[in-house]
C-alpha cells in the first residue's frame, strides 16, 4: 500500500494540514473583509476591475506560460545539478503570484469602487506567504 519506509499516516497528516491551511485562510479572509468593510467576492472567480486590469493580468499570465516553456526547454538540456534556479517552476510560479497580486492591489487601489479592497488583497497575500514560508521552514510544522 505504501512504499517501504514511508509513513502510513502520510495522507491523513497531509489532509489535516490542507484542511487547516484552507480553514485558516478562509477565516483570515472573513476577518479582514469585516475589518476593512469589503464585500465578499464569489468563490473561485477572478473579477477584473477594468479593461486595463484585464490586459495587465493576461500579459502577466501569458508571460508566465512563456517563461515556464522557455525555462523547461533550457533546463531540460542541462544536467539537473546545473539547472538555472530562476527557470525552475517553483520560482516562476512564486514570481507569477507576486506580480499578479501586486497588479491586482494596484488596480484595486486606483480603480475599485471600494478603495479598501486593495488592503484585503495585500493582507491575504502576506498571510498566505507567511503560511507557506512557515510550512517550508518548519518542515510542514513537523507533520510530514
Give the domain ranges of the chain: 10-142
The grid coordinates of residue 86 equal 530562476
Q: Are 55 and 111 in contact (CB under 8 A)?
A: no
Q: How many helices (H) and strands (E) does the chain have?
A: 4, 0
Per DSSP, 42 falls in state P
Q: Give residue 139's pLDDT band: very low, low, confident or very high (50, 70, 90).
A: confident
Residue 67 predicted with pLDDT over 60: yes
- Secondary structure letter of residue 113 according to DSSP: S
Instruction: Tell me the pLDDT tens digit for each residue of 2-29.
Output: 556 577 888 888 899 999 999 999 999 9
pLDDT tens sequence across 23-49: 999 999 999 999 999 998 776 667 888
Give me the sign of the Cα torsion angle 23, 27, 32, 33. positive
**How confident is the model at residue 3, as a pLDDT?**
57
Q: Are 119 and 36 in contact (CB under 8 A)?
A: yes
pTM of the model: 0.81
Query: Measured between alpha carbons, how far is 26 from 13 in angstroms, rounded to an integer?
Result: 20
Amino acid at each position: 500500500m505504501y512504499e517501504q519506509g514511508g509513513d502510513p499516516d502520510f495522507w491523513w497528516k497531509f489532509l489535516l494540514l490542507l484542511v487547516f491551511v484552507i480553514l485558516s485562510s478562509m477565516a483570515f479572509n472573513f476577518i479582514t473583509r469585516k475589518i476593512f468593510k469589503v464585500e465578499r467576492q464569489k468563490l473561485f472567480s477572478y473579477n477584473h476591475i477594468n479593461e486595463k486590469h484585464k490586459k495587465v493580468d493576461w500579459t502577466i499570465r501569458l508571460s508566465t506560460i512563456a517563461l515556464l516553456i522557455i525555462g523547461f526547454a533550457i533546463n531540460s538540456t542541462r544536467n539537473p545539478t546545473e539547472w538555472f534556479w530562476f527557470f525552475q517552476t517553483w520560482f516562476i510560479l512564486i514570481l507569477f503570484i507576486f506580480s499578479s497580486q501586486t497588479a491586482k492591489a494596484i488596480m484595486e487601489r486606483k480603480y475599485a469602487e471600494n478603495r479598501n479592497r486593495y488592503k484585503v488583497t495585500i493582507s491575504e497575500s502576506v498571510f498566505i506567504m507567511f503560511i507557506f514560508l512557515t510550512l517550508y521552514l518548519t518542515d510542514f510544522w513537523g507533520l510530514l
